[in-house]
Chain A
Amino acid sequence: DQQVKQNSPSLSVQEGRISILNCDYTNSMFDYFLWYKKYPAEGPTFLISISSIKDKNEDGRFTVFLNKSAKHLSLHIVPSQPGDSAVYFCAASVKNAGNMLTFGGGTRLMVKP
């Protein structure tokens, strides 16, 4: 039973346009959400996060939106750049002893020049 799902395995966007990556979750106990970016042959790197008490968090070109009633979050990248081409994972956590992360399956973003 996947608690965090990324239903689009891939997304292709033109350079300069907006990229929107989506993530759905089922566990209403999740209280912190994160996005990670992963290049081939490297470990994931933290991109941006949002607490469940907020509905939006912005960091430069990256904005994460959280809709708790729909159990949905999205990552917006504006404007998209070729260097953004990577696999993006959303992750969620319940505040507990280990603050463990549950990851989605990832979305491969390709930004075309």
Chain B
Amino acid sequence: NAGVTQTPKFRILKIGQSMTLQCTQDMNHNYMYWYRQDPGMGLKLIYYSVGAGITDKGEVPNGYNVSRSTTEDFPLRLELAAPSQTSVYFCASSLQGYEQYFGPGTRLTVT
């Protein structure tokens, strides 16, 4: 039981490039979330999903897109990367939404 896995662990992007952050969970959780954490700050919700085929915006969705074609996978797409997207990205999953299980994070730098 791996829990929530994220790839890659680290990535450096040039301004204007695109990439997809992968997130997979093996706990059969319906709820999945993407957060970003900037230095010295708390986590801010980017997008969330309450089940396959259903996604919705969180607090800071601009510059990102998501899809949820299966229960297990919830990829986050960055289009036209900007320096403001330099952050640590965490994916999480939950059975009912409250107690969320987090992945180890992806550290992204945009230069």
Q: Which of A42, A89, A102 contacts B105 (CB 8 A)?
A: A42
Chain A interface residue count, CB cutoff 8 Å, equals: 24
Q: How distant is the Cα of A68 from the Cα of B100 in the complex, in angstroms?
A: 23
List the B side residues contacting A9 at CB < 8 Å.
40
Chain B positions within 8 Å of A6 at CB level: 42
Min Cβ gap A3→B in Å is 10
| Docked CA distance A34–B96 (Å) | 14
In the bound complex, CA of A63 to CA of B17 (Å): 46
Cα A104 to Cα B92 in complex, Å, equals: 17
* Segment among B43-51, B61-69, B70-78 that sits at the interface with chain A: B43-51
Q: Is the interface of B mostly helix, strand, loop or mixed?
A: strand
- A101 partner residues in chain B, CB cutoff 8 A: 33, 43, 45, 98, 100
For residue A25, CB closer than 8 A to chain B, the reply is no
Q: How far is the CA of A6 from the CA of B43 in the complex (A)?
A: 13
B98:A32 contact, CB within 8 angstroms: yes
Contacts of A99 in B (CB 8 A): 31, 94, 96-98
Residues of B within 8 A of A (CB): 4, 31, 33, 35, 40-45, 48, 50, 56, 58, 90, 92, 94, 96-105
